[in-house]
Amino acid sequence: MAFKIASSPHLTQHNQTHTVMQRVLLCALPGVAVQCYFFGFGSLIQIILAISVALLCEAAVLFLRKRAIKSTLNDNSAMLTALLLAISIPPLAPWWVIVIGTCFAIGIVKHLYGGLGQNIFNPAMAAYVMLLIAFPVQMTTWVAPNSIALHPVGLLQSIQYIFTHMPQASIDSYQLGVDGISMATPLDTVKTSLSSGLTMQESLQNRIFADGLPVGWLWINLAYLVGGLAMLKLKLIRWQISVGVLCSLFILSSIGFILNPDSHLGPLVHLFSGATMLSAFFIATDPVTAATSLKGRLLFGALIGILVYVIRTFGGYPDAFAFAVLLANLCAPFIDYYVKPRAYGHRISH
């Protein structure tokens, strides 16, 4: 039997990296389809643009590093990074936002550390945070879901908004047709309402919510949940990280809601708003930047859930998964060091 030495991701199955990445991409399709249904063709345009830029950027970097281009591009890792970043940003963000973010994710976060298996941060989330800090207006302006918008965004309008400059009046009509006010996400709407002195019940009366749950985002999260369960079924990911994320977020949000329902969101809103299911199954489970041991993965996921709740509730950013994942990436080596599997017949000493 040959003993193969390779860098991460270390896969327990006999599938090659490109096969695993391809299956993850396929499992994300239900969520992408539902997201495009509620937010229009903008998300699809961002995905196509991001994947094109990612492949070109990776080829250029590989050429400069004098590495094999075709075999590396075929591992589909750049495509997955581009997809995760594209579906995380607002659908009608200007084209240069996704171009800058994708180049940063591939050229800096991934290849500056040596390429696939060597990066210490999740490339898509690192790029998202960079874009959020550098371009806060473009990164926090979402359109209203098509089901409640007075002017749903069509294909031609999406292309015009992404690649050209639109008058501000036209932009406002697409951002939120319900009341003509630009918006971000349901989580941001609640945070803004609470800071204005409204109670939680009053905040949930906004038309972006229906029966206390976010319009559109509920179904998007359910679709990514289906894709995540499919990945678990196919053994593409381990269950510990996803369970750690969702359970810790559910427990903390339940405690906060019970103690003070007037200023804390309920657990269902936390679980089915923003990027919760996408992050719990498709982002936090990245085998390169996550903890590796069984207990370590549970702690890693729980840490992300705790950080998300703390930042959402007490921080300035409504959806905190990108920051939580990056902070957990920093802690992953320490978690693996202190939560080692006990060697048979030996006592672990620190």
Q: What is the pLDDT of residues 215-242, one digit of tens each?
A: 889 999 999 999 999 999 999 999 999 9
- Higher pLDDT residue, 125 or 214? 125
Q: Decide: 39 and 90 in contact? Cβ < 8 Å.
A: no
Would the pLDDT of 168 be above 50?
A: no
Place of tokens 């918008």: 149
Q: Are strands 209-210 and 213-214 parallel, antiparallel or unpaired?
A: antiparallel
- Residue whose C-alpha is closest to residue 185's, from 213, 214, 207, 211: 214
Asked if residue 124 has pLDDT above 70, the reply is yes
* Local confidence band at 30 (pLDDT 50, 70, 90 cut-offs): very high
Statement: the pTM of the whole predicted model exceeds 0.75: yes
Q: Is the pLDDT of residue 179 over 50?
A: no
Residue 180 has pLDDT above 50, yes or no: no
- State the pLDDT at residue 182: 41
pLDDT digit string, tens, across residues 67-106? 888 877 888 888 999 999 999 999 989 999 999 999 999 9
| Paired tokens of 261 | 């329902």
- What average pLDDT does the segment 184-189 reach? 76
Is there a contact between 308 and 296 (Cβ–Cβ < 8 Å)?
no
pLDDT for 5? 47
The pLDDT assigned to 349 comes to 54
Among 110-119, 170-179, 244-253, the minimum mean pLDDT is found in 170-179
At 140, is the pLDDT very low, low, confident or very high (cuts 50, 70, 90)?
confident
Q: What mean pLDDT, rounded, does the chain reach?
A: 84
What are the structure tokens assigned to 275, written together?
């990027």
334-349 burial, b if ≥16 CB within 10 A, otherwise e? ebbeebeeeeeeeeee
Please give the span between the terminal C-alpha atoms of the chain, in angstroms, as a whole number: 34
Is 90 exceeded by the pLDDT of residue 7?
A: no
Per-residue confidence (pLDDT) for residue 167, from 0 to 100: 46
**What pLDDT score was predicted for residue 206?**
78
